[in-house]
Amino acid sequence: MNFFNSQLSTLNPQLPKWLPLGLLLAVLLIFPIIIEGTSYAYLSRMAGLVGLYALLALGLNFTLGYVGLFDLGYIAFYAIGAYTAAILSINGYSFLASTFAAIVVSVFVRLLVGVTILRLRGDYLAIVTMGFGEITRIVFNNWDSLTNGPKGLPSVGESIRPVKILGMTLVTNTHYYYLIAASVILTILVSQRLENSRLGRAWVAIREDEVAAELTGLAVARLKLGAFVISAVFAGLAGSIFAHWERFVTPESFVFWESILLISMIVTGGMGSIRGVILGAVLLGGVPQLLQAALVGSRFIDYRYFFFGLVLVLAVLFRPQGLWPSKRRQVEILETEYVN
Amino acid sequence: MSTNPLLNITALSQSFGGLKALDSVTMAISPGEIVSLIGPNGAGKTTLFNVLTGVYKGTSGQIRFQERPIRGLAPHQIVPLGMARTFQNIRLFTNMTALENAMVGRHTQSKNDLLWSLLRNKTFYRQETEIEIEAKKCLATVGILTSANLIARNLSYGDQRRLEIARALATKPKLLILDEPSAGMNPRESQKLMELIRHLKNQGLTILLIEHHMRLVMGISDRIIVLDHGVKIAEGTPQEVAHNTKVIEAYLGKNAAH
């Protein structure tokens, strides 16, 4: 009996903390290879799309999640990134060059918009950003000479070239899945590092109480603008990847609904929580598509957004802090340490 | 007063439309003093704090802090000069830990770090450690170090008030402005608060407070300034102010004064 017990205790040590995350990452890394060529291959494309949503949601998390700015027009900067990349690629520029340009243009426009509107608060900011999002889409829809209007880019006879990176040409959905996964990981790293810094704390403090933050010495206006601009980096990046992957952009991809969806991902997952935002992107970006695939042919297919909406309402009712909220960092305290 | 005043207010007025919330208030505070601002509700005490800290810009008059004119500056420009405050209604960063609240207070005492935080270089870690140690010291000073990891909203009422003071202390102020620090505290808590304020004074801080709790005011103030309807009606030691007829009138009505 004793022997058995001691055996058990050595066999059953605490599972290492990284194990679940490690397993999940391993699965995410290899599943596209396994399903390639099977009838489930469409899942790679779906996962890629969810990844793009995650990338965008993590970008929007800088403003909506950390600082609490109610930004309803984020999709406009995704559109600006996508169109910039598309136009440059059509004119012969490489993926890296057009992505860089997409980021720069998104950031620049975001800076101009931010300087003018960030003094607005709460609901006013929401209305103005929503307006900007719609204006952007309408401009792309009507600026025929540059964007080919509702017909989209490229025009007949032109093409967006596939991504060439590190000597490889990305062709399949699986390839793009990996490109997107790498971008998401990079974005997570940036988010984590900024979140756990003086800057990240300042952002969250502004979200918690703007007046107290200003009176604690934070230059609230400048800090807000910083978050606003940084978030555009990821919109530009995602836009360029999207343009190169689809090799086609139209204004239709950048409707107001997409901004709403991104906000829902963040609120449902947990404002300012990296893991929560990713969970939100997976649930809200992936589940409707899965439902569509699962319900095709059944008489429930028309109800899929009904189920989707119901889940959202329940989630927000019962988990107002988000499905997977962030944990605040805990520190070690030695009681005798600072007694004066 | 032989030393130069730390804070010098001359003929300061603040109007809101037709209402003169502050009417040509003049006062000075010397380094190391504890000065209490008292007066009936609506006398303009909090308005004065708001003009001092940059929330309101003031309509006319002058504020000099360490000889430097500060009226009209933004709050985040005033804090680094060495002025920090707490609020009448507690305003904490409620979903951050107590320690993080105090760490935010270190913001003006540390540098911009976008690149450092991304690269996680030595400077970043050195600064983070320093911010954390200084924040812990402030929590220890107000006596809530053991609650460092608690979410601010879960602290007891008295500890939340203390945390506000700790956050203000983290900005390394020369002048600490406390807006009704003992509001809602029980007698034992306000007793401890009084000891804390004295301790801070002994550390070299200058303190300006609004307080309704008369025993506390009489017990710790070096000087008391009385406002009524936006006008300074009296100023002096606790003894002088307690026997001032204008003050008794303002608080209790005309008949009581005679």
Q: Is the peptide bond before A154 cis (omega within 30 degrees of 0)?
A: yes
Token pair belonging to B162:
């203390």
Does B104 contact A213 at a Cβ distance shorter than 8 Å?
yes
> pLDDT tens, A164-192?
888 888 888 889 999 999 999 999 999 99
Whether chain B has a CB inside 8 Å of the CB on A301: the answer is no
What are the angstrom distances between the C-alpha of B5 and each of A219, B33, B179, B206, B241?
28, 10, 21, 11, 21
A to B CB pairs, distance under 8 Å = 127
pLDDT in tens, A50-94: 999 999 999 999 999 999 999 999 999 999 999 999 999 999 999
Mutate to test the interface with B, among A189, A199, A203, A215 (most CBs of B within 10 A): A215
Quote the pLDDT of residue A309.
84
Q: Are B128 and B119 in contact (CB under 8 A)?
A: no
Q: Would you state the pLDDT for residue A38?
A: 84
The dihedral built from the CA positions of residue A309, A310, A311 and A312, taken in this order, carries a sign that is: positive
- pTM comes to 0.91
Which positions ≥6 away from A255 have C-beta within 8 Å? A75, A137
Cross-chain CB nearest to B171 (options A193, A216, A330): A216
Give the closest residue to A71 by CA, choosing from A276, A208, A227.
A227
List of residues 6+ apart from B140 with CB closer than 8 A: A337, A338, A339, A340
Q: Name the average pLDDT for chain A.
A: 88
Does B96 lie at the interface with A, CB-CB under 8 angstroms?
yes
A contact test, residue of B52, B95, B134, B202 with most A CBs within 10 A: B95
User: Do residues B101 and B113 make contact, with C-beta atoms less than 8 angstroms apart?
Assistant: no
Q: What is the dihedral of CA A284, A287, A293, A295, to 10 degrees?
A: -110
DSSP-based three-state secondary structure for B85: strand
Separation CA A182–CA A95 (nearest Å): 15
In angstroms, rounded to a whole number, what is the distance separating the alpha carbons of residues A262 and B28?
Answer: 54
Q: Using one digit for the tens of pLDDT, what is the confidence trace for A279-322?
A: 999 999 888 888 777 877 777 777 777 877 888 888 889 988 88
**pLDDT tens for the 258 residues of chain B, in order:** 456 899 999 999 999 988 999 999 999 999 999 999 999 888 999 999 999 999 999 999 999 999 999 999 999 999 999 999 999 999 999 999 999 999 999 998 888 678 888 988 888 999 999 999 999 999 999 999 999 999 999 999 999 999 999 999 999 999 999 999 998 888 888 899 999 999 999 999 999 999 988 888 998 999 999 999 999 999 999 999 888 888 888 877 777 655
